[in-house]
Homo-oligomer: A and B are copies of this chain.
Amino acid sequence: MIAEIIAVGSELLTPFRQDTNSLYLTEKLNSIGVEVGFKTIVGDAMKDLVRVATTALARADILIFSGGLGPTEDDLTREAVAETLGLQLRRNPELVAAIERRFAERGWKMSANNIKQADLIQGATILTNSNGTAPGQWISGRSDGREKIIVLLPGPPHELKALFEGAVLERLQAKVPRRYIATRMLRITGMGESACDARVAPIYKRYTDVSTTILAAPGEIQLHLRAQAPSSDAAQLRVDDLVDKLEAELDDAVYSDNGDSLEQIVSYYLQMRSATLAVAESCTGGLLAERLTSVSGSSRYFMGGVVAYSNDLKVKLAEVPADLLDHFGAVSEQVAKALAEGIRKRCGTTLGLGITGVAGPTGGTDEKPVGLVYHALASESGTEVIQRNFPGDRQRIRFFASQQALDMVRRKLM
């Protein structure tokens, strides 16, 4: 069965806002073996909505609408779907009571508009929305001799998700042929997309029953794997088998085989080794510390760090000897090393990271161009320094540098 996701709202046709519900819905639909064939975005106009609903009914089996269920004149999804199906809208007394109760409980005054949210398409099942006033609706029936399912969901993501998980997924599952699906995601760093694909394509192409999608994201490559089989175990076995073969080929370039972020993986390793970390950053300007502390519980291993943007602060805060700065310049292997060692000593941690480089767009020279970054990792056993020349703009260079530094910690503790 093929699904079409229809996002309703004129704001989704402006340059400022994008439909994001469809990514969530796609993931959930895929998990029960339903593929999304089309996505449509349409504004709050009756004529357009009816047009879109009619088209979707002809090309898809499952239609999922998000948005347009609110109380304003612009909220027309109910009306448009009823018109498309040739069905009546009827005010449902239970829904009226529920909406009145919701307002009364909160001590809010209910405007007349709100009652419209109690209108139910003839024959529809109510999908109770515990996070908002607009209930969802489920309609199923036959059109052109085929079974069609139409689901109306509210637009706000937290309402939509709760409703889909609570009231839609199981109902859908009962309607679609039972399929068993297993997914895995490998995350790889330190390798380009084509280099990675050249190594893994000969492997995954042999697995015709596992679909593999290779995607390039900033500073990493992702391999999304998905298998279908007659049983849950069989699907898991196939996808796990492919993962084993891919990991054997890519070895330690794979930093995660379950989708975890690099900062999360580094968090596990630091805790596993009872190690602590401090950082001294120049060109990344706090990004490295920010990524490390984005993990809940990071205070167990991340002690802190300094953002030493000026040379003066490199000396004062990270104990970089002033003559090193004079002699080799702030962007140098020597200063990276001194930052890592200085902050490790200052903070008394197991590991110290130092980063210095030229993030651009200005400040580059022939000798030290934009994108040149030195990364250093200091430990009891000495200090390792890696030099890289990253492409891209300021934002990308900073992200690549933080990724490289985190990966040094991972490889050190692996």
Number of copies: 2
Residue of A36, A293, A298 most packed against chain B (CB within 10 A): A293
Cα separation A360 to B294 with both chains bound (whole Å)? 10
Cα separation A37 to B45 with both chains bound (whole Å)? 10
Q: Are B302 and A309 in contact (CB under 8 A)?
A: yes
Q: Are B43 and A41 in contact (CB under 8 A)?
A: no
Partner of A37, one of B15, B37, B48: B48
Interface pick from A95-103, A127-135, A200-208, A283-291: A283-291
A258 on the B face (CB < 8 A):
no
Which A174-189 residues sit within 8 Å CB-CB of chain B?
none
Per-residue contact bits, chain A 293-333, to B (CB 8 Å; 1 contact, 0 not): 11011110011111111101100110000000000000000
Interface pick from A16-24, A106-114, A230-238: A16-24
Q: Are B313 and A360 in contact (CB under 8 A)?
A: no
Partner of A17, one of B215, B284, B303, B348: B215
Cα separation A307 to B286 with both chains bound (whole Å)? 8
State how many angstroms separate the Cβ of A388 from the closest Cβ of chain B.
Answer: 19
State how many angstroms separate the Cβ of A44 from the closest Cβ of chain B.
Answer: 12
Per-residue contact bits, chain A 372-414, to B (CB 8 Å; 1 contact, 0 not): 0000000000000000000000110010000000000000000
Per-residue contact bits, chain A 213-228, to B (CB 8 Å; 1 contact, 0 not): 1010000001010000
With A43-B37, A48-B37 as given contacts, are A215 and B309 in contact (CB-CB < 8 Å)? Answer: no
Per-residue contact bits, chain A 339-365, to B (CB 8 Å; 1 contact, 0 not): 000000011100000000000111000
Interface of A is mostly: mixed
Q: Are A309 and B299 in contact (CB under 8 A)?
A: yes
A positions within 8 Å CB-CB of B:
11-18, 20, 22-24, 26-27, 30, 35-43, 48, 51-52, 55, 59, 213, 215, 222, 224, 278-279, 281, 284-294, 296-299, 302-310, 312-313, 316-317, 346-348, 360-362, 394-395, 398
Apart from A303-B309, A303-B310, what are 19 other A-B pairs with CB-CB below 8 Å?
A13-B35, A14-B213, A15-B24, A17-B215, A38-B40, A40-B40, A40-B41, A279-B307, A285-B289, A285-B298, A286-B288, A286-B290, A289-B290, A289-B307, A290-B290, A294-B394, A296-B361, A312-B347, A316-B346
Chain B residue at minimum C-beta to C-beta distance from A276: B310
With A289-B307, A293-B307, A317-B304 as given contacts, are A15 and B40 in contact (CB-CB < 8 Å)? Answer: no
Chain B residue at minimum C-beta to C-beta distance from A29: B15
